[in-house]
Amino acid sequence: MSEEFNWLDYAEPEESAPAPSPRRGLRRFLPRAPGLPRLPGRPRMPGRPRLPRLPGLSRLPRLPRLSIPGRGRVDSALEAPTAPDLLGLQDERPLEELDDRLRSLRERAATGSQAEADSGQALYDVDEVLVSPEILHKPGGVISAAALSKAQEQQVELLKDIVGGAGQAEATGGRRFLPSGALFSLSAVPRLIGSAVLCLMVSLPFVSSNFSEGQLPPSEFDEDRPGPTTVYDLLDNLTADDYVLLAFEYGPAAAGELDAIADLFLRHIVAQRAKPLIVSSNPIAVVHAQNIIRAINRSVAASGNDLQRGRDYFILRYLPGGSLGLRELSENFADVARVSHKGELTGLEFDSLEEMAAIVLIAERAEDMRNWAEQVVSEVGSTRLLAASGYAAAPLAQVYADSMEEIVGLVVGYRDAYTYGEKLQLNFGPLLPGAYETGVDLAVEPAAQDEQPSDVDAQVERAPATELPPPTEMPSPTVPPSPTARSLPTTTPRPSNTAPPQATVPPAATATPDNIRVVEVVSPQQVRIRRGPSTAEDILQLALAGDMFELIGANADGSWYQIALSNGLEGWIAEFLVEVNEVTMAAFQAAQSSASARIPDERVFLWREFDVSLGKNRPRYYQVNTPITGDIPEYVLLRDRSQEVPRLGAMTFGTLAAVLVIAVGNIFYALGALRRRRAADGGWRG
């Protein structure tokens, strides 16, 4: 054995350094916290005055001071890092990056004799420091005094592995990398096959539209989950003067999942002519939000305008400090809102967050949800939080959404984003300038385009009711072709994903080719046209006396008429409010044109009777008659949806592949374990 290695000497190599205090157990391995250099002649601080000892205290029995690896005493917190931290840090790293003390120990061990190595004594000092000599010499030895847990045993093995001598260093070239050829060993074959299956099945939907199993998400949110619908309706009730705080709390790693919903929220808010104030406690998310807006601007470019920072949207300064930054946002919102992320003045003057119509949070982690719920929402009281999260954070985020009344809804993952987009397309589709027809044309495969039933064309022709730019002004890349027709907007705006009420043609009137059967509003009051034959259904449009609508059918008892609206939707109106007449087409068109002249003055799409307060003392949010006369809001809803169906298909196929790999792999290993156990003791042991 070579010369004895003294840890205490190594810890204090300077000759002039004072002798360190004795250290026990694994703490002897730990680097000492570097102290400040002691200046020459620096006066030493006087010692702490000692309290007088209590009489009889010294007679109390002393507890044994165990020194168990991985379990330091309470004051070990003063010695950072802890032993488990140190060992964890050294795992799977090149030897030259080891802590100096561990590397030195390894080198010292490498110089030991082969006999010592063979006898397990290559790690001299280790046994002594891992187990206190006091414990080692107690009756019963180490086992009776301290038993290591499995994790601690693994750490000991790792420590032995790290400092294990020269033999290993020579074999691995001084690095703890995989030995050559391990990648292609037989044990790697199942992993290679599994990886190939996963990658192949995820890729298939992007290669061919034939691989698109499973149902697409519905165009309406599930009634059992009112949260997403509430989120949509709250944003749909925004008005032109509203400001919405939009929090981007996700980084690039979650961009693939959450970009879709962030994009939709932004488009929806802008389409309502409200102004989003983007904020984040993640500096990268602030920059990423700007990039999403740039992508939206490419959609808006057809209108000759673009969303302007400082006019149509605002990006506020980064909030440092995590939860502390969010607290500052809630306490000092006026200050936060004054400065943009580029340090410019925004010109925004707010007193508090309560002036926000809503707070929309897009969170990658449940912790972000918790921070916002605790630091922001609980401080603003009346303003509601709308949230979106990824699948991974959903279980914890859903708990907050269910428990806090301030959080009124939660949208989860890409499938909800698809439904949100469908709903948006459905409700704004007739307003989109030319996009609707473009989407229809592209939705039908060229070979089958001529074979479409005539009612499709008829419905498309009556879709645009407002004065909008012609379709030719639309850029073709906005809605690119899709490999399948299933995903794109259908030719007719779907009132609901649920089965429509069965309509029967009323027998009262029969139409001739020149005439048309209509219902004419006779009520002196403003009447409501609803999505279905019930007063519980959503209101699609308002109508006044004299308005005419084409009659399509009626419900079973004839109390409701199904009518065609000028915007392409189909609605229901109560029988007692109207009269059924037969008029000429010319008269009908004249009535339609006079009625449509009123439409631009009112925001008449999807007015839900919504009773969730958006803000204290702000009843104006119940008003939904928002004029839509500009160009940007219509264009901002045009999206490239060509990748939606392949992505959903990839999710389905990827999940199937994961199920396959997990099931097959575990069956294989379970059978192997069963065979081994039968060979060992002849039976299965649970």
What part of residues 198-227 is at the interface with other proteins (CB under 8 A)?
198-199, 213-217
By CB under 8 A, tell whether 686 contacts other proteins: yes
**Closer residue to other proteins, CB minimum distance, 294 or 616:** 294
Is beta strand 570-574 parallel, antiparallel or unpaired with respect to 358-363? unpaired
* Residue 291: how many other CB atoms lie within 10 Å: 11
**Closer residue to other proteins, CB minimum distance, 11 or 664:** 664
Residue ranges of the alpha helices (H) in 304-412? 323-331, 333-338, 366-371, 378-380, 394-403
- Distance in angstroms (rounded) separating the CA atoms of residues 686 and 490: 55
Q: Which two tokens stand for residue 345?
A: 């003045």
Amino acid at 666: N
- Contact set for other proteins, span 474-533 (CB under 8 A): none
By CB under 8 A, tell whether 269 contacts other proteins: no
Tell me the per-residue interface mask from 615 to 654 with other proteins, x by CB under 8 A, - otherwise.
---------------------------------x---x-x
- The distance of closest approach from Cβ of residue 49 to other proteins in the complex, given in angstroms and rounded to an integer, is 10
Closest CA to 128 of 31, 254, 5: 5
Looking at 20, 88, 347, 395, which residue binds other proteins (CB under 8 A)? 395
- Distances from the Cα of 308 to the Cα of 301, 305, 530, 632, 658, angstroms: 12, 9, 37, 11, 44
Cα first-last separation, the chain: 49
**Closer residue to other proteins, CB minimum distance, 242 or 259:** 259
Element (H, E) at 548: strand 548-554
Piece in contact with other proteins (CB under 8 A), picked from 322-330, 508-516, 588-596, 637-645: 322-330
- The distance of closest approach from Cβ of residue 640 to other proteins in the complex, given in angstroms and rounded to an integer, is 15
- The distance of closest approach from Cβ of residue 318 to other proteins in the complex, given in angstroms and rounded to an integer, is 8
Q: Which residues contact 77 (CB under 8 A, 6 or more apart)?
A: none
Under the phi-then-psi rule, with left for phi > 0, alpha for psi from -120 to 50, and beta for the rest, what region is 371? alpha
Q: Say if residue 593 is exposed, middle or buried (CB neighbours under 10 Å; 0-12, 13-18, 19+).
A: exposed
Looking at 84, 190, 553, 600, which residue binds other proteins (CB under 8 A)? 190
Reported as half-sphere exposure (CB side, CA atoms, 13 A), residue 464 has a value of 14
Piece in contact with other proteins (CB under 8 A), picked from 113-121, 167-175, 636-644, 662-670: 662-670
Piece in contact with other proteins (CB under 8 A), picked from 284-292, 453-461, 476-484, 496-504: 284-292
- Distance in angstroms (rounded) separating the CA atoms of residues 628 and 621: 16
- The distance of closest approach from Cβ of residue 299 to other proteins in the complex, given in angstroms and rounded to an integer, is 16
By CB under 8 A, tell whether 340 contacts other proteins: no
Piece in contact with other proteins (CB under 8 A), picked from 345-353, 453-461, 540-548, 658-666: 658-666
Q: Which two tokens stand for residue 70?
A: 């991985």
Looking at 113, 332, 584, 629, which residue binds other proteins (CB under 8 A)? 332
- Contact set for other proteins, span 18-57 (CB under 8 A): 33, 45, 48
- The distance of closest approach from Cβ of residue 666 to other proteins in the complex, given in angstroms and rounded to an integer, is 4
DSSP string, 469-480: --GGGS-GGGS-
**Closer residue to other proteins, CB minimum distance, 556 or 673:** 673
**Closer residue to other proteins, CB minimum distance, 262 or 578:** 262
* Residue 152: how many other CB atoms lie within 10 Å: 19
By CB under 8 A, tell whether 662 contacts other proteins: yes
- Contact set for other proteins, span 548-567 (CB under 8 A): none
Looking at 152, 230, 398, 478, which residue binds other proteins (CB under 8 A)? 398
Residue with tokens 């264009």: 635
- Distance in angstroms (rounded) separating the CA atoms of residues 205 and 385: 36
Q: Which two tokens stand for residue 72?
A: 């330091």
The secondary structure of residue 355, as a DSSP letter, is G
The secondary structure of residue 249, as a DSSP letter, is E
Q: Which two tokens stand for residue 196?
A: 């190939």
- Contact set for other proteins, span 567-606 (CB under 8 A): none
Q: Under rule CB under 8 A, how many of the chain's residues touch other proteins? A: 71
Looking at 508, 586, 590, 659, which residue binds other proteins (CB under 8 A)? 659
By CB under 8 A, tell whether 311 contacts other proteins: no
**Closer residue to other proteins, CB minimum distance, 177 or 669:** 669
* Residue 649: how many other CB atoms lie within 10 Å: 26
- Contact set for other proteins, span 341-360 (CB under 8 A): 342
By CB under 8 A, tell whether 74 contacts other proteins: yes
- Distance in angstroms (rounded) separating the CA atoms of residues 385 and 373: 8
Phi first, then psi: give them for residue 252, nearest 5 degrees.
-60, -30
Looking at 334, 456, 564, 658, which residue binds other proteins (CB under 8 A)? 658
Q: Which two tokens stand for residue 146?
A: 């301290």
- The distance of closest approach from Cβ of residue 263 to other proteins in the complex, given in angstroms and rounded to an integer, is 13
- The distance of closest approach from Cβ of residue 142 to other proteins in the complex, given in angstroms and rounded to an integer, is 28
- Contact set for other proteins, span 359-378 (CB under 8 A): 366, 370
- Distance in angstroms (rounded) separating the CA atoms of residues 385 and 353: 11
Piece in contact with other proteins (CB under 8 A), picked from 110-118, 262-270, 326-334, 420-428: 326-334
- The distance of closest approach from Cβ of residue 62 to other proteins in the complex, given in angstroms and rounded to an integer, is 22
Looking at 117, 240, 287, 509, which residue binds other proteins (CB under 8 A)? 287
- Contact set for other proteins, span 402-431 (CB under 8 A): 415
- The distance of closest approach from Cβ of residue 306 to other proteins in the complex, given in angstroms and rounded to an integer, is 16
CA 52 to mean position of chain CA atoms: 60
* Residue 131: how many other CB atoms lie within 10 Å: 20
Tell me the per-residue interface mask from 226 to 265 with other proteins, x by CB under 8 A, - otherwise.
-------------------------xxxxxx---------
**Closer residue to other proteins, CB minimum distance, 282 or 592:** 282
- The distance of closest approach from Cβ of residue 194 to other proteins in the complex, given in angstroms and rounded to an integer, is 5
- The distance of closest approach from Cβ of residue 665 to other proteins in the complex, given in angstroms and rounded to an integer, is 3
| Contacts of 104-109 spanning 24+ positions with Cβ under 8 A | 104/10, 105/5, 105/29, 105/163, 106/162, 106/163, 106/164, 106/165, 106/169, 108/2, 108/5, 109/163, 109/164, 109/165
Closest CA to 240 of 633, 634, 636, 542: 633
By CB under 8 A, tell whether 110 contacts other proteins: no
By CB under 8 A, tell whether 195 contacts other proteins: yes
By CB under 8 A, tell whether 324 contacts other proteins: yes
Q: What share of the chain is helix, strand, coil (3-state, %, to 5)?
A: 45, 10, 45
Phi first, then psi: give them for residue 680, nearest 5 degrees.
-80, -50
- The distance of closest approach from Cβ of residue 308 to other proteins in the complex, given in angstroms and rounded to an integer, is 16
- The distance of closest approach from Cβ of residue 436 to other proteins in the complex, given in angstroms and rounded to an integer, is 26
- The distance of closest approach from Cβ of residue 57 to other proteins in the complex, given in angstroms and rounded to an integer, is 22
